Amino acid sequence: MATWANLSLQDSASPLMEQLTFFHDHAVLVISTIVGFVLLGKIKLFLNSFTNRFMLENQLIEAVWTSIPALILIFIALPSLRLLYLLDEISDPSLTIKTIGHQWYWSYDYSDFLNMEFDSYMIPVADLDPSGFRLLDVDNRTILPMNTQIRTLITAEDVIHSWTVPALGVKADAIPGRLNQASLLINRPGLLFGQCSEICGANHSFMPIVIESTSINSFLNWISLSTEESTPNL
């Protein structure tokens, strides 16, 4: 989870976020090299009182400083296109959940299981445990199994929201009347925090997301207990 002094990306909890982090580092390295080269050239230019007459109307130099930026753009674009296709690829998901944004809370529907849906509200500060996270903890966490291909269908009930979990590299708009989908594969257990990233009204800052990643056996036990509690006795 990000803290107030953290200037870098959050630790990844999925292969997609790992690839996003690698691309971020790749792009920063290229940009830092360009900035350093330009600053060095500026310093040399200001400290040099002579003029190189071959710098004027030199076709070779113009060709070089046109082709080098083009090669740099290709060097950045190829990993970017690869990552774009990886983010959009969803192959045979093992689990599908539906996420619905409301003003101002989230509701979740495990469509693969009967009678498995719930609302997730932020816990007020007055009711928060001393070990809890202010403005981030919820009353009902979203339990998901790790090392499982998960498809998330995202929509909204009223206005546009955005379901965002930075550690998973997921940010998908929740638009009324439209279904967006995202792919999740969590590779470590733990709590993953997120928030709505679309300004959706007065309580926009008070609809957090908490995903609890567990083993498959723990997830199935939770599903079994939850469905038994929600099924009425005949």
All structural domains of the chain with their residue ranges: 15-88, 95-230
Q: Which residues of 45-64 are buried (b: 16+ CB within 10 A; e: fewer)?
A: eeeeeeeeeeeeeeeeeeee
How far the first Cα of the chain sits from its last, in Å, is 45
- The pLDDT value given to residue 3: 66
User: What residues pair up with 170 in beta bridges, in sequence order?
Assistant: 165
Query: With DSSP H G I counted as helix, E B as strand and the rest as coil, what are the percentages for the chain, rounded to 5?
Result: 40, 25, 35
- Going by C-alpha positions, the residue among 137, 123, 148 that lies closest to residue 223 is 148
- The pLDDT value given to residue 126: 85
- CA-based angle 68:87:71, to the nearest 5? 5
CATH fold match for the domains 15-88 and 95-230: no
In whole angstroms, what is the distance from residue 123 CA to residue 138 CA?
Answer: 5
Neighbour count for residue 197 (Cβ, 10 Å): 15
In whole angstroms, what is the distance from residue 211 CA to residue 191 CA?
Answer: 6
- The pLDDT value given to residue 232: 47
Q: Could you say which architecture CATH assigns to the domain 15-88?
A: Orthogonal Bundle (1.10)
In whole angstroms, what is the distance from residue 154 CA to residue 172 CA?
Answer: 7
**Global pTM exceeds 0.85:** no
pLDDT means per 10 residues, the chain with 234 residues, are 71 86 90 92 82 71 86 89 77 86 92 83 87 87 90 92 91 91 89 90 91 91 77 46
- Going by C-alpha positions, the residue among 168, 159, 217 that lies closest to residue 192 is 168
Fold (topology level) of 95-230: Immunoglobulin-like (2.60.40)
- The pLDDT value given to residue 230: 59
- The pLDDT value given to residue 100: 94
